[in-house]
Amino acid sequence: MSSAIVEALTSLLGAGRVSVEAADLEAHAGDWSSRALLAYRAGDAPTSPVAVVRPVGAGEVGRLLGWAEKTSTPVVPFGGGSSVVRGIEGRGHIVVDLSGLDHVSDVDVKSRLVSAGAGVTGPQMRAALGKSGFMLGHEPQSHDISTVGGWVSTRACGQLSARYGGIEKLIAGLEAVLPGGRTIESKVAPRRSTGPDLGALMIGSEGTLGIVTRVTLRVSPIPEDRADACVRFDQMSDAIAACRALAQSRLAPTLVRAYDAEDSVLLTMSLNDPPAGPLLLMSFDGDDAIARAESAVRLTNGERLGDSIVGHWWNNRNAAVDEYSRNMSGTGLLGPHAMLDTMEVAGTWTVLRDLYHSMKDHLVEHADFVTCHVSHIYPDGACLYFTLAKSCSDDVEAAASSEKWWDVGMTTCLEAGGTISHHHGIGRLRAPWLPEELGGSLEVLRAVKRALDPRGIMNPGVLGLDAR
């Protein structure tokens, strides 16, 4: 069966673009979810795909999905593989590695737009835009290991979202291929009133409805100056109130992160004489950045500290990628049986303080430490980002701890009126809690899935859309 699949794929794309090499299959079997990393650590890698295919354009993706529908072959799209919610997994499936869709257009300077293939990585995008003095402003911590198509498919959000927004705000147009091979395109426009937006349906669809092949994104000039400020509080509730004041002000911060006392320890542990938290970090760019930073300090009512802590954050902002990888491979500070995970949720300002306390109080019973920061702010609410860690006595305990965390965390979030994911997405990991999150809307989504993907070939299990 699998050799027939490989033969068929080779005749569709050519031999060079179909891989059955064991190391390649294993590298595309899982993602950065704690479950997959635990499996790799135990030498028991997730189930490998039958083949990894590397199309180089929407036409080839169309041919692939036409064939996959006809043969009912499960398809898992793969960008950078940095999903932390079990977005990449399968059985008897093919993985479509999109790294060949790597073309970035010249910047349309007049309209401030760029068009990029789904497989373009963060560093490729930064390099291409930087040549003409532009940037995207989408800076997820996983910037260096993720792709344009992955950002769109997971509704990702970068660390500078206070100013530049989540990925959905940056999308001006989108091309995608549906199961069966049809291509849909939402025309590039500043805004449209042309009926329901099919392109928007693909944002956050996590590979369940089709494959995003090209995206047109809004870009911004690289700012010349940046002004930083850091203040401390006695209570996290004061830091949360300061975030709300900033989000509802006209000060337009670029970066706002409020760390609770425990997360402040992690943030500043490599500094000499680190301050005790909670700490609020802020950055401003553009016109009057310094004046806006000064106004923000006054508005927050916190105790001003040296701004160098914010510089320290900028310099180390993506260090958690290596830290997570080291700990989950069993070679980090948490020892050979470490379990480490992150859980980001969202809530309105009305519920946020209680959401913070109830999640923290419940989670801390099951981990060695639980830390939290507010990392994305809006006029109506914010994201709470929890980090959980435990040094376990064996990998069985590590796996059980992870299961417990997700059960307790998601249940508590829903009870406290929160939304179960702010930016990592649902994948297979959070699917059990999506019915309660979405209520009756989930049935509508399932009907859309049945209409677009009647054979259920696209990333089965993700979002729990397969239930009939």
Ligand X SMILES: Cc1cc2nc3c(=O)[nH]c(=O)nc-3n(C[C@H](O)[C@H](O)[C@H](O)COP(=O)(O)OP(=O)(O)OC[C@H]3O[C@@H](n4cnc5c(N)ncnc54)[C@H](O)[C@@H]3O)c2cc1C
Shortest-Cβ-distance residue relative to ligand X: 150
Query: What span, in angstroms and rounded, lies between the C-alpha atoms of 296 and 227?
Result: 11
Query: What span, in angstroms and rounded, lies between the C-alpha atoms of 93 and 73?
Result: 6
Tell me whether residue 317 or residue 353 sits nearer to ligand X (CB atom). Answer: 317
Tell me whether residue 65 or residue 289 sits nearer to ligand X (CB atom). Answer: 65
Tell me whether residue 321 or residue 364 sits nearer to ligand X (CB atom). Answer: 321
Residues of the shown chain interacting with ligand X in the complex, contacts defined by CB under 6 A? 31-32, 76-84, 87-88, 98, 118, 140-142, 146-147, 149-151, 153-154, 156-157, 159, 206-207, 211-212, 320-321, 324, 423-425, 459, 462
Q: How far is CA 111 from the centre of its chain?
A: 27
User: Number of helices and strands (H, E) in the chain?
Assistant: 18, 17
The angle formed by the CA atoms of residues 202, 207 and 208, to the nearest 5 degrees, is 85
The angle formed by the CA atoms of residues 30, 36 and 38, to the nearest 5 degrees, is 150
What's the min distance (Å) between Cβ of 276 and ligand X? 26
What's the min distance (Å) between Cβ of 424 and ligand X? 5
What's the min distance (Å) between Cβ of 84 and ligand X? 5
One-letter amino acid of 396: V
Query: What span, in angstroms and rounded, lies between the C-alpha atoms of 20 and 376?
Result: 41
Tell me whether residue 152 or residue 261 sits nearer to ligand X (CB atom). Answer: 152
Cis peptide before 435 (omega within 30 of 0): no
What's the min distance (Å) between Cβ of 211 and ligand X? 4
Query: What span, in angstroms and rounded, lies between the C-alpha atoms of 400 and 407?
Result: 11
Query: What span, in angstroms and rounded, lies between the C-alpha atoms of 441 and 91?
Result: 28
What's the min distance (Å) between Cβ of 157 and ligand X? 5
What's the min distance (Å) between Cβ of 78 and ligand X? 5
Contact 154, 424 (CB under 8 A): yes
One-letter amino acid of 229: A
Tell me whether residue 101 or residue 231 sits nearer to ligand X (CB atom). Answer: 101
Tell me whether residue 184 or residue 299 sits nearer to ligand X (CB atom). Answer: 184
Tell me whether residue 115 or residue 459 sits nearer to ligand X (CB atom). Answer: 459
Contact 386, 312 (CB under 8 A): no
Tell me whether residue 82 or residue 264 sits nearer to ligand X (CB atom). Answer: 82
Tell me whether residue 141 or residue 268 sits nearer to ligand X (CB atom). Answer: 141
DSSP line for 28-83: TT--SSHHHHHHHHTT-PPPPPSEEE---SHHHHHHHHHHHHHHT--EEEESSS--
What's the min distance (Å) between Cβ of 24 and ligand X? 15
Query: What span, in angstroms and rounded, lies between the C-alpha atoms of 97 and 282?
Result: 38
What's the min distance (Å) between Cβ of 164 and ligand X? 13
What's the min distance (Å) between Cβ of 376 and ligand X? 9
